[in-house]
Structure 1
Amino acid sequence: MSEGYLKGRIRREDIISAAAVLYGEAGYHGSSLREIAKRVGISHAGLLYHFPTKEALLAAVLERRDAEDSVREQLSAPPGLAVLRHFVALAEHNVRHPGIVDLYSRLAAEAVAEDHPAHAYFAKHYREARESVGQSFRVLAETGELRPGTDPEHAALAFIALMDGLQVQWLTTPARVDLVGSLRFYLQTLLTVPLFP
């Protein structure tokens, strides 16, 4: 690996890090490539060498976010208690890394607009999360581990909404919101078995 390639890779990672912070602070639309370049200490042209468009940089930021919060890993777990435990583990990870939550919450709110570059990403992410949790609740209903009368689809929607809402509340008043504890409590109210034995 050449020294030039290594320096370029390090610079690329620096740009992604600066963009993630700025997107978390000001959102995608409230950020500019010039401001990101300034934070990294390079020229605007230098940034464009690595990321020719703002959309390309956003894609790199979201790709890193996926790697950091283990979304793909949690969705690949066998449906049932394992997936629910993965979501609790994700919340525990997010509490240790508030920047990820800030970034996610800010961009997700913006991406409601269909013309937002991250709209398709978040639509897919939420669909996969709902399907994963919904499938887990369906499996638990079949085994008698979901409380009788609990609708798996409604429970999945409510859980995803609760997780998002709690994360936003936790960002604004972390001392008053027990993100992990609240998620564990909600999930346990739906189950006839201990979520964590």
Structure 2
Amino acid sequence: MKILETCIEMFGQTGFHSMTMKEVAQRVGISNTGLLHHFASKDELLFGVLGLDDERRKQFFLERGLAVMSIPDDVDEIKSLLKTLVTSELQPGLIELHSTLAAEAASPDHPAHESYRNRYANVVRYYTQAFQALAAAGEMKTDAEPEAVAGMFVALTDGLQLQWLYERDTLRLERNVSAFLRSFVKGID
């Protein structure tokens, strides 16, 4: 697990392409041969990270004070979660890795295709539940189906992250996400 945790940190700092196997081995404190015994290539490291089960991934992010996706019970908590989704913990390397892999994995013959297909299905399902809870509480400004709003929200956040990679100094994710949410959810500032 230490190897994969180190890879997640390194992806977040330098991105997938800039990271070397030698650097991973050094950071983990093992020899390059020792690393190759567990993972024969950077691709294997990547798929090891993608293959981490949800509990291990949640624990990793919680230990670093990063958001973990779980549906809050309170409407105000849902609004707060949606509004602050992309604000505080931007890690350029992880955003770049996700954006690149999401595009590459769209091809059905890409090794990460199923992983990303499942990721998008799960993320849309997660936000659908959040928007359903807001609709049930009378907090939505639209009669659009929660699943449609969830799909738009995921497309917006992924698209904004990609744009942010090009315009880090000028693009403000929170402002754009808040504008979207104000169009659909009552009480968003």
Residue 173 (structure 2) pairs with residue 179 (structure 1): yes
2:37 corresponding residue in structure 1: 49
Letter in 2 for 1:57: L
Shift of residue 179 of structure 1? Answer: 0.7
Taking a change above 3 Å as real, the CA distance of residues 160 and 79 of structure 1, as seen in their structure-2 partners, is: farther
Shift of residue 172 of structure 1? Answer: 0.7
Residue 109 (structure 2) pairs with residue 115 (structure 1): yes
Shift of residue 141 of structure 1? Answer: 1.9
* CA distance, structure 2, for counterparts of residue 147 and residue 195 of structure 1: 11
**So what's the TM-score if we normalise by structure 1?**
0.71
1:102-181 to structure 2, matched below 5 A, reads 102-181=96-175
Match of 1:77, SS state, is coil
**Structure 2 gap segments, 5+ residues each:** none
1:74 corresponding residue in structure 2: 69
Contact 1:79 1:136 in 2 (8 A): no
1:55-94 to structure 2, matched below 5 A, reads 56-62=44-50, 63=52, 67-68=60-61, 73-78=68-73, 80-94=75-89
> For each residue in 1:42-83, what CA deviation from the matched residue of structure 2 results, as whole angstroms up to 9, or x when unmatched?
876432212246554123333487643856x32343385534
1:24 corresponding residue in structure 2: 15
Taking a change above 3 Å as real, the CA distance of residues 94 and 115 of structure 1, as seen in their structure-2 partners, is: farther
Higher Cα Rg, which structure: 1
- The range that moved more, 17-26 or 144-153, is 17-26
Contact 1:137 1:152 in 2 (8 A): yes
How many pairs are equivalent? 177
Identity of aligned residues (%): 31
* CA distance, structure 1, for counterparts of residue 82 and residue 168 of structure 2: 19
> For each residue in 1:154-195, what CA deviation from the matched residue of structure 2 results, as whole angstroms up to 9, or x when unmatched?
111111000000000011111221111111221121112x23
Taking a change above 3 Å as real, the CA distance of residues 118 and 75 of structure 1, as seen in their structure-2 partners, is: farther
* CA distance, structure 2, for counterparts of residue 114 and residue 104 of structure 1: 17
Residue 42 (structure 2) pairs with residue 37 (structure 1): no
* CA distance, structure 2, for counterparts of residue 137 and residue 15 of structure 1: 35
Contact 2:20 2:42 in 1 (8 A): no
2:184 corresponding residue in structure 1: 190
**Structure 1 gap segments, 5+ residues each:** 1-8
- The range that moved more, 139-148 or 12-21, is 12-21
